[in-house]
Structure 1
Amino acid sequence: MDTDQPSAGPQPGPSSATRRARSRVGVTVICLLAGLLFGTSASLAREDPTGAPSDLPELITARDGQVRELTRQAETLGQEVEELRDARASSQTGQVLGAADTIAPAVGLSAVRGPAIAVTLDDAGYTQDTLPEGYSVDDVVVHQQDLQGVINALWAGGAEAIMVQDQRIIATSSVQCVGNTLYLEGRVYSPPYTVTAIGDPEALHAALEADPVVQTYRDWSSAVGLGYQVDDLGETELPAFVGSVRPQHARILQTDDD
C-alpha cells in the first residue's frame, strides 16, 4: 500500500546559527581572561618594590635626573682635579725657581757682589820703527792665549764671577783676538784689556803666581815692556751675563771605533 511518509535519513544537527553563537561565547571568554591577565600584570608592575619606572615617560624622567646628577658629580670632580693640578704646578714652579735662583750666580745669570781683583794686560806700545832689535810685532802685543791664561788661572783660584772689559763671561764664552783687538760676544775692544774677578783675593793672587802661562807673559812683560798689573778692588759688583746660554753649534767627535 502506497502511503506518503517522511523518508528515513540522518537527523539534522545543530544549526549554523547555534555554532556561531557558541564561537562568540568562546571569544568573549578568552578576551575576558586576557584582560584579567593584563590587568594583573599592570597591578603587579605598579606595586614593584624596586620602584622601577612603569612606563616610558617615567623612565625618561628618571634617566634625565640620573644624568643631571652624574654631570654635577663630574663637574665637581673636574674642579677638584684642576685645583690639585694648579697646587702641584705652583709647588713645582716654586721649587724650580728656587733652584734657578741658587745656581744663577754660578752660571752667570745674576749679578754677583764681593771682594775683587783686576788684572790689566796691555801692548808694549812699540811701532814698527821702534821695535827692539830681534823682536817682531807679535812679541810686543797681547795675544789671545795671554788673556785665556789669566782667565783660566782666576777660575782655578776659585773665582765666583769674571768679567772681561765690561762683559760678564761664563763657561761658554769665547775670548778671541783678531790682530791686536779683542772680539767678545759680538763686540770689538782695543787694549788695554782688563779682567775682573770676584773671589778670595789671596787665593786669586796665588793662582796667578802659580800659573805657567801667566808666568810666561810676565817674563815677556819684563823683557819687552808688555803691560801687566794686578789691583785689589775691594767690594765690587759684576753684572749678570746678557748673552745667550743656549748652544749655537755642535760638533760630532769621531773616535777610533767609528
Structure 2
Amino acid sequence: MEYTSGAQSWRVVIRRALGGLRPRRRGQRTRGWSVGVPLIGLIAGLLFTTSARTADGTALRDDRRPQLAQLIADERSRVAARQQTADQLNAQVEQDTAHLAQVDQPVKQAREQADSMRQAAGFTALHGPGVTVTLNDSSRRASESDPNGPDNDDLVVHQGDVQAVVNAMWAGGAEAMSIMDIRVISTSAVRCVGNTLLLHGQVFSPPFKITAIGEPTAMHSALESAEGVRQFRDAVADFGLGYTETVERNVTLRAYDGSSDLRSAQVAQ
C-alpha cells in the first residue's frame, strides 16, 4: 500500500476496512485477523497521512549541525571579544600602576618585587637551547574483525602520555616549557578530552608539541629513563603512534598572557 497521497491512501484504507467489517454469509467463519488487519491499516493510514501533511515536503527531523556550528562560532567570537576587553583593562591597570609607583613608595616596592619574579613565573619571554617532543595518534584504525588487534584506546595519545613527557622534562632540568606554543606556568593543568588536549580553556588536536628550554642532554636522559615515556615508545613500535624528539639550538618561548587568578598563594622565600 502506498501513502504518497493523503486522499488516495485514505480511500484505499477505508475501502479495505469496510470490506473487512462487512457481515459474513451464513456458515462462513469469521477470522480475527480479517477484522484486525483493516483496523491496523486504518490506524497506519492515519499516522502516515498526518506525518505527510505535517512535513509538507520537508524533513520532520531537522539537521541541527548547522545551528551547532553557528553556536560554536558565536561563542568563540564572544570569548575573543571578552579577551580583547580583558587585555585592554590589564594594559590600563599596568599603566595606572606604573604611574602610581612613581609617587607611592610601597607601590613601587611591590611592583619591583613582582617584576623580579615575572621570569620565574613565566610572564616574560625566554629563549635558549632546549628540546621539542611531538606526540601523535596512530594512522591505524581499530578493526572489529580482528579481536586480537588494537582498540581505539591503543591508537591515540592519552593525558598520561603528555604528562609523562612534561614531568620528565621538568625532572631533566627544564627552565621553561610550552605546550602547543602556550607557556606552561604553575597553575597549568594537562587534561585530555577524548583525543584532544585541553589547556587554559583552549582545545588542541594532535600532534601535541611540548618544547622546553634547558640543557638538551640532561632532558634527553630524563626522557630515556622515564617509565611513562618508555611505555609510549613501546606503543609507537606496536601500534604506530608518533614520537619525535628534536634538539633545539635556540628556541623562543613566548610569555604567558592568560589569566593567573589564584585562590591562595604564598610568596617564595
Q: What range describes the TM-score normalised by the shorter chain of this pair? A: 0.5 to 0.7
Q: Deviations over 1:222-244 (max 9, x none)?
A: 21111111001211110111222
Do the aligned partners of residues 248 and 186 (structure 1) sit closer, same or farther apart at CA in structure 2, a change above 3 Å counting? farther
Preserved contact between residue 177 and residue 183 of structure 1 (Cα < 8 Å) = yes
Q: Provide the secondary structure at the position in 2 that maps to 1:134.
A: coil
The alpha carbon displacement at 1:90 in A equals 4.9
Long gaps (5+) in structure 1: 1-85, 251-258
1:103 maps to amino acid:
M
| Alignment RMSD | 2.6
Q: Deviations over 1:102-148 (max 9, x none)?
A: 32111111111111210000011112349974311101110000001
Match of 2:218 among 193, 203, 215: 203
Q: Whose RCO is larger (CA < 8 A, sep 6+)?
A: 1
Q: Is the 8 A contact 2:102 2:108 kept in 1?
A: no
Q: For 1:120 and 1:200, how far apart are their aligned partners in 2? A: 18
SS at match of 1:173: coil
% identical equivalent positions: 44
Distance 1:178 1:88, change over 3 A: closer
Q: CA deviation at 1:164?
A: 0.4
Find 1:136's aligned residue among 151, 156, 159.
151
Stretch moving more, 98-107 or 228-237: 98-107
* Separation of aligned partners in 1, 2:102 and 2:153: 61
Find 2:240's aligned residue among 222, 225, 230: 225
Q: Which runs of 5+ in 2 are unaligned?
A: 1-99
Q: Return the alpha-carbon distance in structure 1 between the equivalents of residues 225 and 108 of structure 2.
A: 43
**1:188 aligned partner:** 203
CA contact (8 A) 2:141 2:155 kept: no
Match of 1:245 in 2: 260
What TM-score does the superposition give when structure 1 sets the normalisation length?
0.58
Q: Describe the shift of the 1:95–1:87 C-alpha distance in structure 2 as closer, same or farther (beyond 3 A).
A: closer
Pair 244,234 (structure 1): closer, same or farther in 2 beyond 3 Å: same
| CA contact 1:131–1:137 (8 Å) conserved in 2 | no
* TM-score (normalised: structure 2): 0.56
- Correspondence for 1:148 among 158, 163, 173: 163
Q: Which residue of 2 aligns with 1:116?
A: 130
- Aligned-pair distance for 1:99? 2.8
Aligned pair 1:214/2:214, yes or no? no
| Residue equivalent to 1:73 | none
Quote the Cα distance in structure 2 between the aligned partners of 1:209 and 1:100.
37
**One-letter amino acid of the structure 2 residue matched with residue 124 of structure 1:** S
